Amino acid sequence: MSATLDRAVPLCVDLDGTLLRTDTLLECLVLLMKERPLSLLFVPFWVFRGKSYLKAMCAQRVSFVGKSFPYNADVVDFIESQSSDREIVLVTGAHQSLANSISEDCGHFDKVAGSSEQVNLTGDNKLQWLLEQYGEGGFDYIGNDKDDLKIWPHARSAMAVSTPNGIQKSASNSAIILKQVFSEKKTGLVAYAKLLRVHQWAKNALIFVPYLLDRQIGDPTELFQLFTAFFAMCLLASCTYILNDMLDIQADRTHISKSARMMASGNVSIFAGFIALFTTGLLFLICCYFLNGLTVVALFVYLAITLAYSFRLKQIILIDVSILAALHTIRVVIGTVAISAVWSFWLLAFSMFVFFSLATAKRVAELINLEKTGASEATGRGYLTTDLPVLLATGVSTAYISILVVALYIDSEKVSQMYAHPEILWFVCPALMYWVGRIWIKAWRGLLNEDPILFALKDRVSLFTLLTVVAIVALAKFPLWGPAVV
């Protein structure tokens, strides 16, 4: 048989895990959880009627576009190289309507076969369809799953996407010769660290602020409570980050930088995301066992607000930045109740204003970068690029109000009693004025591409400003010379 006739054999391609670096059924369930959460109550009944029925019901209730999914670049390139010489067929267990959408986006398929409400086109059903259409050895097939072990022996050429589930070894044990294996990036510890946002844990150091301001360092009981609260907060925050990534998975894929997030890019599967969510949640509950009641209540308030933010509030302009400011302030509250410290009006007021400003700065930077691309609206956020002047005025004003709160605090009677030389604390104000001004200039230039607090922890100028403030406070605190000036 000539090479031309050989290439005339149709190329049949699986979808989940092969063409796409994700599972479309899990994607549907996640989108259902976001758009129609009450529909999840019906999922057990749909499952009882069969997997094909479940796929059909999910597909009817959610809306996808092809670009909502991450493609396996090597497989797409191979399809493109073959498309001019033979028929390319997408044959998948995903529902027909979803398969059609992906086929239209990809643009290289001549025929599409997917599951219906009655038939789940996987395993034996997929094999039967292929044999009816093309006969024994009358097609080439690319797959990646254990169900494909039934299909490869009947294909002329068997090809696979390498996976960590031992499919290649199983194929070898079954005497299946894989003509070509497309490499798939394996998920490592670094990917899971990014999924958990371990680098974001630094923000939870806010829990220690009330202790540093109100206590003498050294009480082991209070330190145990603080460190346990810190780890509980880290685990809880990771849970919310994972859930938020799941709910935002479609919007993230259309974002310049967020498209690189682990689940949006397909580097971590949604199933692995659910496992990570369950594990971190369990560890969080174990930490809660060792905390006092008020701290646990504060942590669950944080969780409730975060869930409200993830499902709805982040789509409402200004409410979203208010929530982000509140979530940072709650970290200070957790640190306060963990050691039963006296509530500080000044600390809470400063936290709300400064964190509102920083959250707004992040939105301004995002809109500036969005404007550069020619777009006018932030997907899933409700902001328009025309909102920039209002956001700028709001953010800058709240930044300097937070410094006014510091100034009023310095002038309070409590400070005069706590510090040997309280007049030195006034130098904190110009240092903070410089820092927030610099943050806002960077935001306006579109250079603030991450959380401002994380930016500050990596920015040399911000770290130098922090050290300067610490030095000023130390000089004011300790009587290194003469009596305090009254």
Indicate the burial class of 318 (C-beta count within 10 angstroms; 0-12, 13-18, 19 or more): middle
* Percent of the chain residues past pLDDT 90, beyond the cut: 43
Helix (H, G, I), strand (E, B) or coil at 178: strand
Nearest to 236 by CA among 293, 287, 184, 174: 287
Size of the chain, expressed as the number of residues it contains: 486
How far apart (Å, rounded) are the C-alpha atoms in residues 361 and 384? 15
Residue 283 confidence (pLDDT) above 90: yes
Residue 66 confidence (pLDDT) above 60: no
Residue 213 is predicted with a pLDDT of 75
Query: What strand order describes the sheet that includes 178-182?
Result: 111-115, 88-95, 11-13, 140-143, 157-161, 178-182
Residue 412 is predicted with a pLDDT of 84
Q: Which CATH class is domain 7-182?
A: alpha beta
Block residue for tokens 């031309």: 4
Ranges 25-39, 129-143, 208-222, 341-355: which has the least confidence? 208-222
Q: Does residue 374 come out as left (phi exceeding 0), alpha (psi in the -120 to 50 range) or beta?
A: left
The shares of helix, strand and coil residues in the chain, as percent rounded to the nearest 5, are 65, 5, 25
Phi, psi (rounded to 5 degrees) for 11: -100, 115
Phi, psi (rounded to 5 degrees) for 90: -95, 115
* Percent of the chain residues past pLDDT 70, beyond the cut: 92
DSSP 306: H
pLDDT digits (tens, 9 = 90+) for 192-208: 899 999 988 988 988 98
How far apart (Å, rounded) are the C-alpha atoms in residues 261 and 195? 7
- What residue segments make up the domains of the chain, in order of their start? 7-182, 187-343, 361-486
Q: Which CATH class is domain 187-343?
A: mainly alpha
Pure H helices in 292-318: 293-311
- What lies within 8 Å, CB to CB, of 89 at 6+ separation is 10, 11, 12, 13, 109, 110, 111, 112, 113, 139
- Quick count: other Cβ atoms within 10 Å of Cβ 11? 24
Nearest to 184 by CA among 68, 71, 72, 69: 72
Q: End-to-end alpha-carbon separation of the chain, Å?
A: 101
CB 310 within 8 Å of CB 244: yes
Residue 3 is predicted with a pLDDT of 40
Quote the tokens at residue 433.
């004025």
pTM value is 0.80
Q: Which long-range contacts (CB under 8 A, 24 or more apart) does 424-427 make?
A: 424/472, 424/475, 424/476, 425/472, 425/473, 425/476, 427/472
How far apart (Å, rounded) are the C-alpha atoms in residues 421 and 214? 18
DSSP string, 3-56: HHHHHTSPEEE-TBTTTBSS-HHHHHHHHHHHH-GGGGGGHHHHHHT-HHHHHH
Q: What average pLDDT does the structure give for the chain?
A: 86
Block residue for tokens 């902001």: 383
Residue 282 is predicted with a pLDDT of 97
CB 129 within 8 Å of CB 91: yes
